[in-house]
Amino acid sequence: MIRLQSGENLQVRIQDLMIPSERVAHVQVNNSLEHALLVLTKSGYSAIPVLDPKYRLQGLISTPIILDSILGLERIEFELLEKKRVEEVMNKKISRLTIDSSIDKCIELLIDNPFLCIVGKEGYFEGIVTRRSVLLYLNSHIKEK
Ligand code: AMP
């Protein structure tokens, strides 16, 4: 049974849980959907961040979004993959955190998002926090008890 002491604060910061930007697979706003699908398929992730040429976070792109955008009435229009740009179809309404955000807020947002993007000043992309990284921390925290 998991028993946590009431009033106990989690002594962990966003930066302790973050996968830094250098290790995060991403695409650029002006990449083709074909390129994005290649990166998604090769990396094995179902969604990844979209950045602008200055490495500012602009949105998220996922395999379902790409497939939905090339669905015609009677067939999948694969030829659109090389014509359409990521910025035309990406999800722009995304939750984001900063390095100073609270862990409580992070855990709350991870209920509905498999990962969260961390941004710095003027939206520069710093990295991501995933459900896995939070669960790994909580698991080791519980076992220390
Ligand atoms: P996880 O909790 O490790 O299963 O990761 C949840 C989601 O976060 C994955 O499905 C990806 O969409 C994203 N993700 C995790 N690690 C990376 C990474 N290194 N680069 C890009 N996206 C990632």
For the segment 120-131, the average pLDDT, to the nearest whole number, is 96
List the beta bridge partners of residue 15.
none
C-alpha–C-alpha distance, residues 69 and 56, integer Å:
24
Cβ of 19 closer than 6 Å to ligand 1, yes or no, is: yes
For the segment 28-46, the average pLDDT, to the nearest whole number, is 97
CA of 70 to the centre of ligand 1 (A): 24
The percent of residues above 90 in pLDDT, for the chain, comes to 87
State which ligand 1 atom lies nearest to the alpha carbon of 131: 2
Residue 4 predicted with pLDDT over 70: no
Question: Residue 26 class from Cβ within 10 Å (0-12 exposed, 13-18 middle, 19+ buried)?
Answer: buried
- Judge whether 96 and 119 are in contact, CB under 8 Å: yes
State the residue for tokens 């209920």. Answer: 111
Cβ of 124 closer than 6 Å to ligand 1, yes or no, is: no
Residue 54 predicted with pLDDT over 60: yes
Q: How confident is the model at residue 7 (pLDDT cuts 50, 70, 90)?
A: low
- Nearest-CA residue for ligand 1 atom 22 is 48
Which strand (E) or helix (H) includes residue 125? Answer: strand 125-130
- Judge whether 19 and 127 are in contact, CB under 8 Å: yes
For the segment 36-46, the average pLDDT, to the nearest whole number, is 97
For the segment 119-130, the average pLDDT, to the nearest whole number, is 96
DSSP class of residue 118 equals E
Q: How confident is the model at residue 142 (pLDDT cuts 50, 70, 90)?
A: confident
Q: Please give the pLDDT value at position 34.
A: 98
For the four alpha carbons of 54, 23, 31 and 95, in that order, the dihedral sign comes to: negative
Average per-residue pLDDT for the chain: 94
C-alpha–C-alpha distance, residues 18 and 44, integer Å:
19
Question: What Cα–Cα distance (Å) separates residue 86 from each residue in 71, 96, 122?
Answer: 16, 19, 21
